[in-house]
Structure formats: structure tokens, C-alpha cells
Structure 1
Amino acid sequence: MNLARRQPWLGLGLLELFVLVVSLSASGVLSPGPLFFITVENALRSGGRSGWVVALGHMSFEFPLVLGLAYGVWGFLANKLVRFAIGLSGAAAIIIFGVLQANSSYQGLRRGDDLRADNRGFDLGGGWFFRSFLVGLTFTGLNPYFLIWWFTVGLSLITYALEMASILGVFIMYLFHIWMDYAFLGAVSHLTATGRKTLKTRHLHIISLILSIVLIGIGGWILVQTITSL
């Protein structure tokens, strides 16, 4: 009996899983998708701590999805009509959010408003914490390419983890994955917030406007890909 494979926490199997998860997760975590661009845009408004909260919102959708895949939910989510509905709603949400943000940035640019961080603290009534959490949750759940990643690359990781240590292996695998999201999104927001201190208000609005246009473009591309996939 290969105990290293049957019980990965004994050493070799755990190390193998860690290397595998980190190597494959990098393809999803570090890709410049909608969540990356909205994290940058959000950090301009909500400050350097916001990336951690975006990651929390991201995890709030991702972790239940991983457990669902581990328990066999992928059969339902792999349905073509379900994928089409997710792609359509996701593209629409990204485009609408991008348009609203672009309008806000344009109006702020005209008026010369100060695009500074909201310092009201952990205001769950609508402050920077709530906004950042909602951004992470929404731009994760409505991103069809995030779902595709988990249905393909991610599913192979889940399968490997299940073979190694059943559902405990899935929990371990997810810990090896999620720290990268927190580290990356946290670093992105921190660097963005640090950089904004050296920029004028006009420049910040222009950057925010450009990022909003990028989001609209991504949403449009997802919409086209979704429609042509029928």
C-alpha cells in the first residue's frame, strides 16, 4: 500500500498535491480577466485593503462550487443550456457594470470629483467592505470562463484530491489554491492604491474610465462567444 498517496499529509503526496495545485491554479489566478480589472478599478475607490475583501467574496462563491463539483453537481452545470444562461447573464452583468462605472468615471472627470478611498471602515450598510465583497462575489459567479476553468482544469484537481484523501483531500487542495487568490488580489489592490497616491484626480478618473471600457469589451467578447457556442 502506498501510504504517501493514500494519506497525503504524511509528506510526499501532500507535496505533490501542493505543486500540482499551485502550478495549475496559476493559469486561472494570474489571468487578467474581469475580476482582475474590477479589483484594480475598485482599489482606486476603496483603497489597498479592498483586494482581500474581493478575494473573500470570490471565495464565498468558489468554495461551495468546489464542494458541489466534488459531490457530483458538474453533471447539471455541464448542460449546454445552463452554460448558455450563465454566459448570457454573466456577459450582461459585466457590460452593465462597466457602463455604470464608465459613466461614473466620466461624470467625475467632468466635475473634478476626488476619487479617494472610502474610509468609513467595515460598513456593511454600503461602504467599501460591502462594495468590495459584492464585486468579488458577482464577478466570480457571473464569469463563465471561471466556471469553465473549474469544470476542466479544476475538476482534474478535485478528482486527484478525492483519490488521495476523499473529501479531506478536497479541503486541503482548496487551501493550496485559495491563498493564491488572496495573495494576488491583495497585492493588486495594494499596488494600485499605492500608485494612486502619486497620481492626480484627473488621471485616476481616466484610469478608471479605461478599466471600465476594458470590462465592457470583455463582457462583449463573452457575449459573442456565448452566442456563437450554440
Structure 2
Amino acid sequence: MSILELALMGFIIGLTGALAPGPTLIATIRSALHVGWTGGPRVTLGHVIAEMVIVVLIAAGISSFPETLRPAIAGIGGSALILFGGMTLFGARGAAISADISMESPSGPILAGLLTSVSNPYFWIWWFSVGSALLISSLSQGAAGLAAFIAGHWAADLGWFTLVSISIHHSRMMLSNRMYQGILVLCGVILVLFGIWFLIQAFPAPSL
């Protein structure tokens, strides 16, 4: 897989995670109500700080993994992708973006992004299953591959949370619930397809 393809994969996979309703999205909406459109980028910075630590830990750990374990990790990651994709498809029907958030003062967008990330069980489950498999794949191109994948991943976070904060700040730009649900369905399908691809890589068909 080329550097550009790794960056694109990082962006697409990152977008599917960023779009999932959760505490970081709520933190973005609250921050946008208090500090304007810059709430999204500032929440993203806190989220990136949390991910930066966990990426370094995983990358340092998997660099010493024997090659025989890597197919198993890819298999676990592929299965997790399919599971998360199914959950995304299941939850898309009733998903909605709401600006009806209490107006209590937030602790600060950067800190909110950090705390909502590390306190979310989905965050840890994702990085130690799907994330590990993706990092192993990106490391096939060395440090440049890892950097490309992470850059694409963080670009997706920054793009989505910035769009949300701009939409909240300028309500006329708010995505409709129908559009949001459609995006979630697309992301769910993409997750399932990526999961199938990882399983194929982990368990290739025997040669005749």
C-alpha cells in the first residue's frame, strides 16, 4: 500500500470514528456554543493529544511483535471493524445531531477533548483492536507510512469537528438529520468492507 493510500485509509477510517455520536461530539457542540467555531479545532487538539500518547505506546509495542502474531492481530482488527461497522449501521436510523445542550460553562475545549477521549471505553477498545491492526499495516511502509496514516486520521477528526462547530456557530449551515444518518450508513458500510479486507489479509485463501 502506497503512502498516499495509507493517508486516504487513515482519513476514511478516522472519519467513521469521528462521526460516531459520543462524548467528544457533545464536547464540540458545547464548545461551539461558548467559544464559536474554534471550539471544534480546540477539542480536536485535546483528542489528538490523547491519541498521540496511545499511538506511540502501540507503535513501540508492536515493533517488537513477532511476525507470526501479526496475522492474528489483523484478524482481530478486521473482526472489530465489522462489529463497529454493524453497530454504526444499526445506530444510524435514529441518529441525530442536536444543539439542545445545556449552557453550563465547559472546562475548556482542549481539556474537554482530552477528557472525553480517555474516558470513552470505545476509544480504548478501538485503538487496541482496530487501531493496532491499522498501525501494523501502515508500518509496512516504515515511519513515513505511520506518519501518513496518522496524518490522514487526524485530518478527518479536525475536518469533522470543525464542520460541526461551524454548523453550530452558524445554524443555517447545520447538517440535517437525514444527511447525518446517510453519512453514518456510508461509514458503516466502509467499516465492514475494510474489516473484510483485513480478514482476507489475515487468512488468505490457500494456493491450489
Q: TM-score, normalised by structure 2?
A: 0.60
- Which of 191, 195, 209 matches 2:181? 209
SS in 2 for 1:73: coil
Q: Which has the larger radius of gyration?
A: 1
Aligned pair in 2 of structure 1 residues 150, 225: CA closer, same or farther (>3 Å)?
Answer: closer
2:32 corresponds in structure 1 to none
Instruction: Answer yes or no: is 1:142 the counterpart of 2:142.
Output: no
CA apart distance, 1:83: 1.9
- Percent identity over the alignment is 9
SS in 2 for 1:90: helix
**1:44-193 matched pairs, under 5 angstroms:** 45-47=26-28, 48=40, 49-70=42-63, 72-75=64-67, 77-78=69-70, 80-100=71-91, 102-105=92-95, 108=96, 114=99, 116=101, 121-122=106-107, 130-133=115-118, 134=120, 136-143=123-130, 146-153=134-141, 156-157=142-143, 185-193=157-165
Aligned pair in 2 of structure 1 residues 195, 214: CA closer, same or farther (>3 Å)?
Answer: same
Find the aligned partners of 1:190 and 1:219 in 2 and give their Cα distance.
23
Q: TM-score, normalised by structure 1?
A: 0.56
- Residue pair 2:46, 2:114 contacting (<8 A) in 1 also: yes
CA apart distance, 1:148: 4.0
The number of residue pairs the alignment matches comes to: 180
CA apart distance, 1:92: 0.7
SS in 2 for 1:211: helix
SS in 2 for 1:142: helix
Higher relative contact order (CA 8 A, sep 6+): 2
Amino acid at match of 2:11: P
Aligned pair in 2 of structure 1 residues 117, 142: CA closer, same or farther (>3 Å)?
Answer: farther
- Residue pair 1:34, 1:139 contacting (<8 A) in 2 also: no
Amino acid at match of 1:146: L
Amino acid at match of 2:138: W
Q: Which runs of 5+ in 1 are unaligned?
A: 1-22, 159-172
CA apart distance, 1:221: 0.8
CA apart distance, 1:212: 1.8
Q: Which runs of 5+ in 2 are unaligned?
A: 29-39, 204-208
1:38 corresponds in structure 2 to 17
CA apart distance, 1:115: 5.4
- Residue pair 2:85, 2:188 contacting (<8 A) in 1 also: yes
2:191 corresponds in structure 1 to 219
1:11 corresponds in structure 2 to none
- Residue pair 2:46, 2:113 contacting (<8 A) in 1 also: no
CA apart distance, 1:24: 4.6
